[in-house]
Structure 1
């Protein structure tokens, strides 16, 4: 494992990926198709519970939501690694972030930066990705954020 591998970076950053979050409905956390892994929408579960609920811009600050988006991304990486055994050689292709927003809140991109930034820290250039940041009325379990990943695996 090289010093710049995602697994080495996780260790350097002191990040331990969590156990894969149990699905809250009829789906699996991630599916591999060829060289790609598509994650289900990941909520910011910590030890099986949501640390915060509600709408961003009304009870949940953008900064708190960005931290929750970071947790969603780490949960997504845990789902990927559960299928592949390692993150080494992987590249982040696409991030889709959903933000449960107060109708007046328009800072969804800043919230989803919480996910994008941690992926960049872990993957370096292989963490540069396309992205969507979408405001929605409500998310499952009243979560403030949800994040999906598309990850390309090495040949």
Structure 2
């Protein structure tokens, strides 16, 4: 249909340079194409996380990987700036438990995209009329990675006898 394949090699290294840190489960971008102002990506949950996908409406790593395609389009004002999802509008979930998505990203205004995701058969899984993206500095991203020792909360396990174990 006139789409041109774009290389996805080095995507996660490039994102790391912008301040994003993705573990192996969140590196699901498999392929990408571009046609005009649209970007098409295929994303997958790694085999070791597929059991978790069945328990989710949409696996967080799969949805996040779908958004990694933003870097292949002209969707944001400043290509050198890091952006994060900010506000979703008009979201429809049609299916749950997907492990692979084929996603179309298209412009939906300034620093915003529309998203349509299908499974490998072409059946609709998720759509969003608009996802507003907001810039974030590398320092802001780094600040969110505080250590567990500076957290204002902690997990306490309580056994059946009522004794608190920390």
The reply to whether TM is greater than 0.5 is no
Flag the structure with higher strand content. 2
Q: TM-score, normalised by structure 1?
A: 0.37
Flag the structure with higher helix content. 1
Higher relative contact order (CA 8 A, sep 6+): 1
Q: TM-score, normalised by structure 2?
A: 0.35
